[in-house]
Amino acid sequence: MAGIQATSAGMGKDRRTALRQRREMEARPWRGPVRRYDILKEGTIAVAVVAVLVVLFAVLFSSPDVRPVTLQAWASAQPKGFTEIALSELNGTSDSATYGPPYNSGNGEVQDLWGISIQKALGITDPINSAEDFVLQPLSTVSGQPQLTAALGRYNDASATQRSAWLAAYGKALAKAQVVSGRLTVPRAADGPVPVMLSTFLGMARSGGLDAALVQHSPFYVTNYTNPLLFIGDSWKAQHGKSYWGQIVEAQHMSGSQWGVMNETGSWPGQPWLWLYTMWYQVNPMANSGNGDVEVVAIMSFLTILLALVPFIPGLRDIPRKIPVHRLIWKDYYRSNRPGGSPGADVTT
């Protein structure tokens, strides 16, 4: 028995030595048959072939270009829904208002992995006060409306308790509001200056003025669309498929539950290479987890590192040897080198 074990150990050692020897040899310059090869010609032909394909596809299929959603279009199509979101920004219940880092100190969208939250650790890097930034500041840019100026003054001077009472009263009235011929009619309530503020805000949005006001981070040039996108996005978070944006998103099959990140508008292919990333969002526990995003990012990071480190992972690196797809790739080489075969075929001298 001991002899058999010793023999097995010896064979294992021989095998390991042979594998190490092979690894060394596979690093050496090739000493076998070679053939002519023009690397520049190959590259030129490849560029020409792909260029033809690209031009052909561009002519045949073009590319998608769905116009961006504007606050003006949203406010015109859904004045009540728009006003509900504006109210949620003021009373601090919107997704943006409660988000957490990197926007504010909320906790609504803070995620962690095993109790560790990188999101929280890195803190607020893009501070946002949704009431001030999305509603009050744009309203303050409106001039020539004494009624609005008085309403804003009254609102700003009021205590937090008084503001909350006004906003709560307006919220109850808004639930009973009617839209007649595109005009939003909100029943009277003990809501102080809020009706003037939000009706002006709605008018500002419908005129297109809010689209410009929300992106004015600098006196003239604009490149940062964080505020308008978060504001529009709050409608998706609160009203989902019923929101103006949500209707377009779901019609284009781009919501998260529709594997949206890999899809494209119309019938174009999107980013099919994201299939694995998107898939994790569809399966439990990620599908119903409050930490779904960080869990999926962690899984994909782990799998990416695993892929990069395949050369060093026993078992994984042995798969190509065990499932011999390589026999197809190098069939000519193996055929010409089999015992009794013609070893010298396909060579140049």
Q: What is the dihedral of CA 274, 276, 277, 282, to 10 degrees?
A: 120
Which one of the spans 82-90, 136-144, 187-195, 290-298 is the region binding other proteins (CB under 8 A)? 290-298
| Tokens found for residue 115 | 């109790």
Smallest distance from the beta carbon of 169 to other proteins, in angstroms? 32
69: nearest Cα among 254, 244, 213, 203: 244
Binding test (CB under 8 A) with other proteins, winner from 13, 176, 242, 331: 331
Smallest distance from the beta carbon of 115 to other proteins, in angstroms? 14
Evaluated on CA atoms 191, 195, 196, 201, the torsion sign reads positive
Give the three-class secondary structure for 116. Answer: strand
Query: What one-character DSSP code corresponds to residue 69?
Result: P
Residue 329 binds other proteins (CB under 8 A): yes
Interaction residues for other proteins, span 210-269 (CB under 8 A): 223-226, 229-230, 232-233, 236, 245, 248-249, 251-254, 256-269
Residue 342 binds other proteins (CB under 8 A): yes
Which one of the spans 153-161, 174-182, 183-191, 283-291 is the region binding other proteins (CB under 8 A)? 283-291
Closer by beta carbon to other proteins, 138 or else 171: 138
Binding test (CB under 8 A) with other proteins, winner from 2, 5, 181, 273: 273
Which one of the spans 65-73, 77-85, 139-147, 165-173 is the region binding other proteins (CB under 8 A)? 65-73
CB 179 within 8 A of CB 217: no
Smallest distance from the beta carbon of 141 to other proteins, in angstroms? 21
What gap in Å lies between CA 68 and CA 76, rounded to an integer? 15
Residue 46 binds other proteins (CB under 8 A): yes
Q: How many CB atoms lie within 10 A of CB 98?
A: 19
Binding test (CB under 8 A) with other proteins, winner from 32, 144, 146, 182: 32
**Whole-Å CA distances, 342 to 219, 330, 335:** 78, 15, 8
CB 98 within 8 A of CB 192: no
Residue 108 binds other proteins (CB under 8 A): no
Which one of the spans 46-54, 76-84, 141-149, 182-190 is the region binding other proteins (CB under 8 A)? 46-54
